[in-house]
């Protein structure tokens, strides 16, 4: 029951402000926060201090933090499931960020 409610909150809620505004797709600076969001959530501004190959959950992000990362990705028109976000690595986030700055991301995971 609780997981069902949580799923509805994550996917239908307007409480996450990231989803209400789409990032502009013209500036590579707009994508800079994709890689930095998980590290900032963990209290460190430098994402390169973390393993680039471990998943976000392996480095310590909980479900709420992962949902914040999902919201940032959604604001950049990257729609992937919460389960896929949990398995992302910093190197994959960097790849997404680079692809967005080149305007060739098509929702691949």
Q: Which residue has the tokens 């909980």?
A: 62
Q: Which residue has the higher pLDDT, 57 or 8?
A: 57
pLDDT band for position 27 (50/70/90)?
very low
The predicted-structure confidence for 76-86, as pLDDT tens digits, reads as follows 889 999 999 99
Non-local CB neighbours of 37 within 8 Å, separated by 6+ positions: 68, 69, 72
The predicted-structure confidence for 61-104, as pLDDT tens digits, reads as follows 999 999 999 999 998 889 999 999 999 999 999 999 888 877 65
CA distances 97 to 20, 94, 101, 105, Å, are 20, 5, 6, 9
Coil, strand or helix at 7: helix
Overall pTM > 0.85: no
- Please provide the CATH number assigned to the domain covering 27-101: 1.10.1200.10
């Amino acid at each position: 029951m609780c997981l069902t409610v949580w799923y509805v909150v994550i996917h239908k809620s307007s409480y996450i402000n990231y989803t209400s505004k789409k990032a502009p797709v013209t500036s590579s600076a707009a994508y800079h926060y994709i890689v930095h969001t998980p590290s900032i959530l963990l209290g460190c501004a430098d994402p390169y201090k973390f393993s680039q190959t471990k998943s976000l959950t392996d480095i310590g992000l909980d479900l709420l933090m992962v949902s914040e990362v999902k919201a940032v990705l959604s604001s950049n028109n990257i729609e992937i499931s919460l389960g896929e976000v949990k398995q992302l690595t910093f190197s994959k986030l960097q790849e997404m960020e680079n692809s967005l700055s080149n305007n060739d991301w098509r929702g691949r995971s």
